[in-house]
Structure 1
Amino acid sequence: MPRQSTMRSDQPVVDSLAVLGRVLIWMIGVASLTLIMASGAATRLDNTFYDLHMHHWSYRTGDAVVIVAIDAKSLSRLGNWPWPRAVHARLLDRLTDAGVRGVGIDITMAEPDINHPENDRALAQAIRRNGHVAMPVFAEAAELGGTLEEMLPTQEIASEASAFGHVDAAKDDDGVIRGAYLKAGLGRPYWPALALVVYDMDRETQKPVLPSLHRPDTDTESPYQWMRDDYVLLHFAGPAGSFDQVSYVDVLEGHVSPELLKGRWVFVGATASGLGDLLDTSASGGDERMPGVEYQANLLESVENASTLTPLNFTSQFVVGAALLTLPLLLYGLPGFRQMWTIALVALLACFGTSVALLRMVGWWWPPLSCVIVMAVGLGVFSALRKFRDRHNASR
């Protein structure tokens, strides 16, 4: 009888040690997770997983946006680029007569037409007649190695524009574009993206603030540095060509029905190869690249549908990862979870499943690979130690 009493009194001690052991393992895992996240070691793997998912998450665009494309057909009919700005004035009058909702012109016009100033005047007058035209802003050095300057349209053209927006494409370190900065500017981010100002031009009430990843405040800002803020990920409709497009020259010559343009937002920009930006995006496949004007169309559609995605900040990523690291420790020893491969399979699938569920259901992007690496390494080490212990006990 005394022996049985001793066994019962020892049981709580054994249970406490088991719990303490699991807590220590979790703390080691959390510390490892912090180091991997801070180092960015899993960033490339996370980007690969994100792109793979986005390749299979396309959608059919609505009828809110149409692109007037400066394409190969237009170049062959109208001649080499750049065209006289009086040509753009004629196009804009066509769009005005069709009753478009607003126009975003993604064409650089920073230098005046010195030889034919009447062309600039004609475009300025066409912009005034329309009343809902947004023009681009970008940063460029006037000379090689010089300081950056904000480039706006010429004064005569800019004086008639309704709004200005930046056309900075948010490239990641690997050169792929997965999102957009809603604000950017020289010295501080005060220019909205071109798509935002097009969206906002005909609205009497201010649009709701989009959830985004904010840049931490810093005192190191320079008036000569291009600053960005309010980063969002884009749910691209698909690869290049997913949006309705009409050829510039067809609109100019009246071959496009006004009904196809009426009440729609219009972006005018280059789609021809070698003319304008061609971008690698998370929705691209193979050698497909997206024109900058379609990038703006994707941003406007995302704003219209409230489908922009928010990347979680470091703290939020850490909280989700730390919570998931408890899963294998809770599963270990439960009925049906005696084998390490079963625990590993469920835990790792939970990481990927949580990432996809947050992205699709809530619109939050949680990169899972830091947590996956910690789990995989930890479960592998634990499995090896358990096998070593079992062999040691068998040999005794």
Structure 2
Amino acid sequence: MPVDPLRILGRALAWMIGVALLTLVLASGVATRLDSAFYDLHMRYWPYQTSNAVTIVAIDPKSLSKLGNWPWPRTVHAQLLDRLTDAHVRGVGVDITMADPDVNHPENDHALAQAMRRNGRVIMPVFAEAAELGGTLEEMLPTPEIASAAAGFGHVDAAKDDDGVIRGAYLKAGLGHPQWSALALAVYEIGQKTPEPALPSLHRPDPGAESPYEWMRDDYVMLHFAGPVGSFEQVSYIDVLEGQVPAAQLKSRWVLIGATAAGLGDLLDTSASGGGERMPGVEYQANLLESIKNTRTLTPLNFTSQFLLGAALLVLPMLLYGMPGFRRVWLAAVISLCASFAMSIGLLRWAGWWWPPIDSAIVIVMVAVAVSGLQRINWRR
């Protein structure tokens, strides 16, 4: 079959126009919400069974009814840590703010610090907050006495997207410089004899642009949530405190302590929620810890990678159109649309890369509409 140079030139020109449109669509971010909706939909049908390496000690309604209103005396937390120490847990992440000293009972802070030293594997939270409305951000760590007893610190900054939904986490963050590991990552790193290789993540494009007054984030990963709220084993704070949870159930596990009762902890909308029950912050950290342990974190591709994959995909409809069985432009377009979504799911599931497919889908539809319109004009002539 002879090669028609004009047809090849026309296809090449159409591809270049498609690539130009792809650049504009990617840069505009017009498809971001649709890509996020597609990602969320897929995540809700991609749960997995947790490894039982992570247990949440939940500050739940049952504990509040027995121990009274929040906050509790820090001697109570000290007693809980001693229970966990006796159970030989692997590490403890405390998702409880303790930035202010107990001025009325300083001995409580001392008791908690002593319990933390006896354990030796307690990670405490750090976050950024302004002392007054509109004021300068400050890094909030535990009180000096409690901080001195901690094995390390981890930030508890939840990575919300523009629509308020959490789909990932920043492995590093800090005021002026992203020096703090995420709480879950800091817990995971406890007792590691050798540094773990860095997880694949999306890095800041301008690592040199830092301000001492700005909360800086880096190393963004997307999370493969285990499922909806309640996917991780939870034990009630009061049950652990009263010895009703067998030590063998906690032995060699990572334990995260945090609030699950409504009105206490931060409840988060995640890609696993689907508009249902919101996820407590401590369970968000549990998902991150489990993902780190099993290398289940997902890497969002940067702009250049998204563009190159999208440009390569646009070759498909140019090749298909006109081949036997593909005389109609919309048939080639539909096949290419299916290929874009299949490629996105395949890269996510088997390579751990998130490639948003909607941008390419929009361009494929736009080019198909243009070609179809030109065909109708020619037929009328």
Alignment of 1:323-334 (within 5 A): 323-334=312-323
- Conservation of the 8 A alpha-carbon contact between 2:40 and 2:274: no
Counterpart selection for 2:195 from 192, 206, 212: 206
Distance across 2 between alignment mates of 1:313 and 1:219: 18
Match of 1:38 in 2: 27
Distance across 2 between alignment mates of 1:22 and 1:335: 17
Q: What code does the residue aligned with 1:252 have? A: L
Matching of residue 17 in structure 1 with residue 6 in structure 2:
yes
Match of 2:309 in 1: 320
Matching of residue 236 in structure 1 with residue 225 in structure 2:
yes
Match of 1:385 in 2: 374
When normalised by structure 1's length, the TM-score is 0.95
Match of 1:151 in 2: 140
Matching of residue 365 in structure 1 with residue 328 in structure 2:
no
Distance across 1 between alignment mates of 2:379 and 2:315: 25
Match of 1:266 in 2: 255
C-alpha displacement at 1:111, in angstroms? 0.4
Distance across 1 between alignment mates of 2:379 and 2:63: 75
Q: Deviations over 1:77-111 (max 9, x none)?
A: 10000000000000000000011110000000000
Counterpart selection for 1:275 from 256, 264, 273: 264
Q: Deviations over 1:254-303 (max 9, x none)?
A: 11111110110000000000101100001112331100001111011000
Unaligned segments of structure 2, at least 5 residues = none
Query: Residue 303 of structure 1 aligns to a residue in which SS?
Result: helix
Query: Residue 139 of structure 2 aligns to a residue in which SS?
Result: strand
Matching of residue 49 in structure 1 with residue 38 in structure 2:
yes
Distance across 1 between alignment mates of 2:201 and 2:275: 29
C-alpha displacement at 1:219, in angstroms? 4.7
Unaligned segments of structure 1, at least 5 residues = 1-7
C-alpha displacement at 1:388, in angstroms? 2.6
**Closer, same or farther: CA 360–67 of 1 in aligned 2, 3 Å:** same
Q: Deviations over 1:186-227 (max 9, x none)?
A: 001110001011001111111111000000125542101000
For this pair of structures, how many residues does the alignment match?
Answer: 381
Identity %: 71
Alignment of 1:136-175 (within 5 A): 136-175=125-164
When normalised by structure 2's length, the TM-score is 0.98
Q: Which moved more, 1:375-384 or 1:45-54?
A: 375-384
Distance across 1 between alignment mates of 2:331 and 2:205: 42
Distance across 1 between alignment mates of 2:222 and 2:378: 48
Distance across 1 between alignment mates of 2:49 and 2:12: 48
Distance across 2 between alignment mates of 1:206 and 1:121: 32
C-alpha displacement at 1:344, in angstroms? 1.6
Match of 2:50 in 1: 61
- Conservation of the 8 A alpha-carbon contact between 2:90 and 2:254: yes
Alignment of 1:100-119 (within 5 A): 100-119=89-108
**Closer, same or farther: CA 93–173 of 1 in aligned 2, 3 Å:** same
Match of 2:326 in 1: 337
Query: Residue 229 of structure 1 aligns to a residue in which SS?
Result: strand
Query: Residue 206 of structure 2 aligns to a residue in which SS?
Result: coil
Match of 1:80 in 2: 69
Match of 1:346 in 2: 335
Match of 1:286 in 2: 275
Q: What code does the residue aligned with 1:166 have? A: H
